[in-house]
């Protein structure tokens, strides 16, 4: 099987909720979050929230404990493990942050399934406080994409992934996402790729309104069970296509004969 790259969004795609909202809500800081959100970009709000939570006595272990019980559909982990076992190259492209994502996928036992995580950097400082930075420094080097939030353009990441795969001679990308930030990368996918928007979520609405702009084949999904079924079918479809392309020409001819019609006499 020619290698398949599957790119997953994280929030509301791998997990069933937004990880930022989950942590803020579970640690009792929803009101402050809502108060700050109109004043600065989301990514900057989350860095500020980690500072505020630390000042109120919430430790990094408190954050980890909340993340370890985040809701996830029971078929998501088996889907990821099976796709990895079948030889697919799995990557995460998310506007969450590295600490949240690593904590969750480590808890789920799927950390080693992913070759790459593209997300906002984060680290625990000397005071034990989580600091979150933007993926793109929008103050000094804005990405210039008007479809994406200032801290991350997922389309730029897909451009880079596609360039790398082309050098390695690899072909297909399957992209799964739910949010409006997943629309830009969907426009980067080629005719041989597959876009899997989550139905009734923002990216699905944007795709429905702008269907002619996309070249990739579109397969909507509803939940983890739906995702599993579609991802497995797409992997099988690509495997079959690759098998046919690899057959020698003479083998194809011998094993796929064409039945010519017999002449029919017409009685006058």
| Binding-site residue positions | 9, 11, 20, 95, 178
Choice among 9, 18, 47, 89 that is catalytic: 9
Q: Report the distance separating Cα 223 and Cα 127, nearest Å.
A: 40
Binding residues for Mg(2+): 9, 11, 178
Binding residues for substrate: 20, 95
Catalytic residue flag (residue 112)? no
Q: Report the distance separating Cα 166 and Cα 163, nearest Å.
A: 5
Choice among 11, 47, 182, 193 that is catalytic: 11
Catalytic residue flag (residue 242)? no
Backbone angles phi, psi at 217, to 5 degrees: -75, 135
Tokens of 258: 């064409």
Residue 174's contacts (CB-CB under 8 Å, 6 or more residues apart) are 4, 5, 6, 7, 193, 194, 196, 231, 234
For residues 41 and 201, the answer to whether their CB atoms sit within 8 Å is no
For residues 213 and 24, the answer to whether their CB atoms sit within 8 Å is no
What pairs with residue 132 in β-bridges? 122
Give catalytic residue positions. 9, 11
């Amino acid at each position: 099987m020619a290698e398949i790259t599957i790119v997953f969004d994280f929030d509301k795609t791998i997990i069933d909720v937004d990880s930022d909202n989950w942590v803020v809500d579970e640690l009792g800081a929803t009101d402050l979050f809502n108060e700050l959100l109109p004043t600065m970009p989301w990514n900057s709000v989350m860095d500020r929230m980690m500072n505020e939570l630390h000042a109120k006595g919430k430790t990094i272990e408190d954050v980890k404990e909340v993340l370890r019980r985040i809701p996830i559909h029971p078929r998501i982990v088996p889907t990821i493990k099976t796709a990895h076992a079948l030889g697919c190259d799995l990557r995460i492209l998310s506007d969450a942050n590295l600490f949240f994502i690593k904590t969750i996928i480590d808890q789920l036992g799927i950390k080693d399934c992913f070759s790459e995580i593209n997300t906002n950097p984060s680290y625990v400082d000397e005071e034990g406080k989580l600091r979150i930075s933007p993926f793109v420094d929008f103050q000094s080097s804005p990405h210039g994409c008007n479809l994406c939030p200032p801290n991350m353009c997922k389309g730029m990441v897909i451009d880079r992934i596609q360039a790398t795969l082309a050098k390695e001679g690899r072909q297909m990308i399957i992209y799964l996402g739910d949010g409006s930030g997943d629309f830009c990368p969907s426009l980067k996918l080629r005719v041989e790729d597959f876009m899997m928007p989550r139905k009734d979520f923002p990216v699905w609405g944007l795709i429905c309104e702008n269907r002619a702009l996309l070249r990739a084949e579109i397969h909507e999904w509803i939940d983890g069970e739906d995702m599993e079924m579609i991802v497995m079918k797409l992997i099988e479809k690509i495997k079959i296509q690759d098998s046919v392309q690899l057959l020698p020409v003479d083998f194809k001819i011998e094993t796929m004969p064409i039945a010519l019609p017999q002449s029919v006499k017409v009685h006058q």
